[in-house]
Structure 1
């Protein structure tokens, strides 16, 4: 049987290729323009082609693959930004991915790709008066998609058009993986099946995932929070971590909203706020019973990797073995996709395409 293959547009640090490779799917090529993410990905996938700027690619000329993934830029869709939507210069690059998919399908008589996967922020549901998500679905299906009667898009759903079966679902990273992550990261995933009616099976079916990669021996947060075991039971000190809602904290401080400011102080069982490319999360740390000795500090790049479900030091070195700066690592991780969510989808694709 021919091995399944994958191409990754807006590749970042290679999370989709990593998820695919963990299920025997071969990453063939990637498109990315940022130097640091490209160098990190080259280190882990030395045999993968790097095609560069998506605006200069032609789907008819690049190697055809079974699966195309793309997490197109979210700046214009995010509730943090100016909300220009798909008309914005960054998020509008979505249309280049659709163009490449159509060009490849035309050049291969509709054989490749079989599956396309799009990932983006939850704000994609509401940007441009909720019309942007309608355009996304129409781009995949090549059909007119009506707005829901409620005027709002559900957190999961499916549509069928003339060329594709499409399913979408909002996944929050804190509920995925084994053990589960402790980062709140809501992302929309859209799966388009051009070869059948299997999109819902890929995106809605329950399935067992592989354990998260080992987290090594370096000090720092583990990829999952430990259960409620007391220091007396373990014979050692138990760390207590309280993540802060830093954006809310700053906003409430500026507006004088005291109740909101107090709510921004997290509890020890709260998930970490979503990692962002432009900011590093802070948290308070102390050992059980020693609150007065606690400190407030930033997450390290290693801890950010673990919150994304990635192997330790995934971003630490470039392909020449040179260390990547902490700032560049955190920026790349803030733009990345949580591995367990990507892996769940890759497991479903492999299952339906190989039977």
Structure 2
């Protein structure tokens, strides 16, 4: 599979699909730091830059178009201007790129708010646009914390719900086969998780109140708590001073938390919440440690651009799952190559 990635960011798609043997034709990214990350990790892949200038891009044989156009205009927390917001109009640019390259597959990602933006009219306009370009689509909200796939047996420890649209040129059944699993179509869906009924205590009540932190702390959702000035976490794989049995370093900083770290000890002192480290954010999104620590121009990588780039990225495990599903459908029903036709 040869794919064109727009709004590439730091390329969760390529991180997810490289093990499948898929090849990126080109990226499209304009922000400075993500572009530096792409150039660092994928120097042989061209970055075609501004997607609104797609008419100036070279012709190419593309099997799949992937991208997550900016979500600000469709976020519940945003102003909800929808397609009236120029950033939202990049959704229409995505459609124009799909029309030009006519890849047989496409994958599009956005926040769940896109489904209700402008009372659903904006999303309906996008689906109609796909139909006008020759695509039939299926869509589904996927939560990264539940997507277990090769390389991500425990998914990722954060709640991250996103809408994924998969389209196929001329055949709705293939798109549906990727996203819609049979067990959810027979009228007997798996039971949903029940919300907990316990009331969370106040910060001051936690050391003694019911429902407090305790010694077992679930990191699902990316929650980080700390005691005193540092988080005290038991994880023998995370480094630290093992010789004296402490769960933190000599300078007082805690281990880096990861998905294997499921316990936090209660210590004396006040309660605090610390910022996630860039390494932890990389793990939350499914990237390798240090993926964004590229030291541009030989200088230390600032944390701010790393946080922003990772926050805007897709979750690698979800993209791996979608890629594997597409590959499976391709094997079951091989596509007729346009180039051969």
Structure-2-length-normalised TM-score:
0.71
Preserved contact between residue 42 and residue 319 of structure 1 (Cα < 8 Å)? no
Q: Point out where structure 2 has 5 or more consecutive residues left out of the alignment.
A: 183-199, 203-208, 234-263, 333-341
Deviations 1:221-254 (A, max 9, x none): xxxxxxxxxxxxxxxxxxxxxxx9xxxx9xxxxx
Preserved contact between residue 59 and residue 100 of structure 1 (Cα < 8 Å)? no
**Aligned position for 1:269:** 218
Q: CA deviation at 1:295?
A: 4.6
**Aligned position for 1:34:** 31
Structure-1-length-normalised TM-score:
0.69
2:155 to 180, 192, 196: 180
CA distance in 2, matches of 1:318, 1:64: 34
Preserved contact between residue 28 and residue 65 of structure 1 (Cα < 8 Å)? yes
| SS of equivalent residue, structure 1 residue 291 | coil
Deviations 1:67-97 (A, max 9, x none): 1101000000001111111221112111111
Q: CA deviation at 1:195?
A: 4.8
2:117 to 106, 116, 127: 127
Q: CA deviation at 1:163?
A: 2.2
**Aligned position for 1:79:** 76
1:198 to 165, 174, 177: 174
**Computing the radius of gyration over CA atoms, which structure comes out larger, 1 or 2?**
2
CA distance in 2, matches of 1:342, 1:26: 15
CA distance in 2, matches of 1:342, 1:61: 26
CA distance in 2, matches of 1:6, 1:73: 20
Q: CA deviation at 1:282?
A: 5.9
Preserved contact between residue 176 and residue 340 of structure 1 (Cα < 8 Å)? yes
| SS of equivalent residue, structure 1 residue 297 | coil
Q: Per the alignment, do residues 85 and 46 of structure 1 end up closer, same or farther by CA in structure 2, a change over 3 Å counting? A: same
| SS of equivalent residue, structure 1 residue 292 | coil
More strand by share: 1
Q: Matches of residues 239-278 of structure 1 in structure 2 within 5 Å?
A: 268-269=217-218, 271-272=220-221
Preserved contact between residue 5 and residue 25 of structure 1 (Cα < 8 Å)? yes
**Aligned position for 1:349:** 326
Q: Per the alignment, do residues 102 and 271 of structure 1 end up closer, same or farther by CA in structure 2, a change over 3 Å counting? A: same
CA distance in 1, matches of 2:9, 2:213: 30
- Pairing 1:302–2:279 present: yes
Deviations 1:129-159 (A, max 9, x none): 11111111111112xxxxxxxxxxxxxxxxx
Q: Per the alignment, do residues 295 and 31 of structure 1 end up closer, same or farther by CA in structure 2, a change over 3 Å counting? A: same
CA distance in 1, matches of 2:213, 2:114: 27
Preserved contact between residue 15 and residue 287 of structure 2 (Cα < 8 Å)? no
What is the Cα-based RMSD across aligned positions, in Å? 2.6
2:95 to 98, 121, 125: 98
Q: Point out where structure 1 has 5 or more consecutive residues left out of the alignment.
A: 106-112, 143-161, 207-243, 250-261, 274-280
Paired residues, number: 264
| SS of equivalent residue, structure 2 residue 66 | strand
Preserved contact between residue 69 and residue 90 of structure 2 (Cα < 8 Å)? yes
Q: CA deviation at 1:44?
A: 1.5
Preserved contact between residue 75 and residue 112 of structure 2 (Cα < 8 Å)? yes
2:131 to 132, 141, 162: 141
CA distance in 2, matches of 1:122, 1:102: 25
| SS of equivalent residue, structure 2 residue 320 | helix
CA distance in 2, matches of 1:327, 1:32: 18
